Amino acid sequence: MTGLNLHLYPSAMLNESRLFRIGTSLQESGCFTATHLVGISGAGLPAREEIASGVVIVRIGTSADGASRGRLRRLLGLAGWMPRIFRRYGREKVSAVAAHSVWMLPLAWLLAVRTGAILVYNPHELETGTPNMRSGRKVVAQTVERLLIRKARIVTAVNQSIGCWYAERYAGVEPLVVRNIPRQEPASARLRERLGLSPEPFLFVHTGRLTAGRGIPQILAAFEEMSGPDDPMVVFLGDGPMKADVERASERHSHVHLLGPVPAHEVVDTIRDADAAVMLIDTESLSYQYSSPNKMFEALSASLPILSTPLEELQRSLAGMNTEAWRLGSVAELSEIAKLRTRADVAKFREEWPGLPTWDSEVAPLVSAVCASVGRTGEGR
């Protein structure tokens, strides 16, 4: 075996499903002694938490480093956090170190230089095109990425659109595309059973974090208009800053429901008895224009059609299918189009839908590239 496989991301590592899947798949390859997912500690969270055989979350720092303390406190926390990471791992036998955001690239590069490990850049989106990348912050992020991205042995992208953007922006960089195909396991109960709903109502589902930029107010407004027994319902599966808004709507309107989050690997099976998904993405930022949200792949893995605003990567995934009935020209159409969808529309979609590959097949090129770079063959797979 070689050495450690490090993944750096400045979060409390609670629901980082993509990072967890990548780390676990790499550890399962047999190419590393252990995989450490290194994040920031939080109140009540263990400093070490094993989430799979050989895959350990390592939380370093104090709860004051958390994002909830405000931007300045967070920046000060990160300024102290990164040297602690370097001191912790700078003398370890490390074979690969992966930065999961542009802000982790400098630390990951320094650790790679110090330990002789390969550097991997695994951005979770188009890093410098997010809504919070403005003015000086954007300039710094672009500079960091421009200076260090070519030092990475391997660069990944979450979809083809973002992969092409990186390839065009940085000559010589050819990202491996690893889409967020969910790993699936049976759920203890599905949506209708959990909510006490009969099979009759046409049921839309919205999965993922309840936060801004995902059209939640517009979805609530549309389904609050539903009143008839044959009108569709919507259930939100998740948690987040806008949970209270959804709770209030669910208390007032019988066509709006809220279900708390379930483990990431159970989401697909939980939503299988819904009829369709609803997905509104604010595409004002370049990163969101090119996005392929987890909720998209969760719905498609459950063979659910998606009532959605135009999204390039959704259309790419549905290439060759006639999905005009599920496409929103504007958010204002949501209520009316939702009412027009029928089980016959769902059946037609499922007849045409070829399905998605498994996560293991999707991540296989990355596992092979990493193992080859650290001198192993991935014999554990």
98 touches 6 (CB < 8 A): yes
Same domain (yes/no): 24, 168 = yes
With a pLDDT cut of 90, the percent of the chain lying above it is 81
Residue of higher predicted confidence among 63 and 266: 266
Same domain (yes/no): 212, 279 = yes
In this predicted model, what pLDDT tens digit does every residue of 330-362 receive, in sequence order? 888 999 999 999 999 999 999 999 999 999 999
Q: What is the pLDDT of residue 322?
A: 87
Same domain (yes/no): 169, 110 = yes
In this predicted model, what pLDDT tens digit does every residue of 88-120 receive, in sequence order? 999 999 999 999 999 999 999 999 999 999 999
Instruction: Return mean pLDDT, the chain.
Output: 92
The total number of structural domains in the chain stands at 2
Total-model pTM: 0.91
Same domain (yes/no): 199, 171 = no
pLDDT above 70: residue 127: yes
Determine, yes or no, domain membership for 381.
Answer: no
Same domain (yes/no): 169, 304 = no
CATH of the domain at 292: 3.40.50.2000
Determine, yes or no, domain membership for 274.
Answer: yes
Determine, yes or no, domain membership for 380.
Answer: no
The residue range of the domain holding 368 is: 4-181+359-373
Same domain (yes/no): 334, 366 = no
Same domain (yes/no): 89, 165 = yes
Q: For residues 205 and 15, what is the distance between their CA atoms, to the nearest angstrom?
A: 20
With a pLDDT cut of 70, the percent of the chain lying above it is 94
DSSP conformation letters of 138-191 = HHHHHHHHHHHGGG-SEEEESSHHHHHHHHHHSTT--PEE---PPP----SS-H
Same domain (yes/no): 120, 33 = yes
Determine, yes or no, domain membership for 186.
Answer: no
pLDDT above 60: residue 274: yes
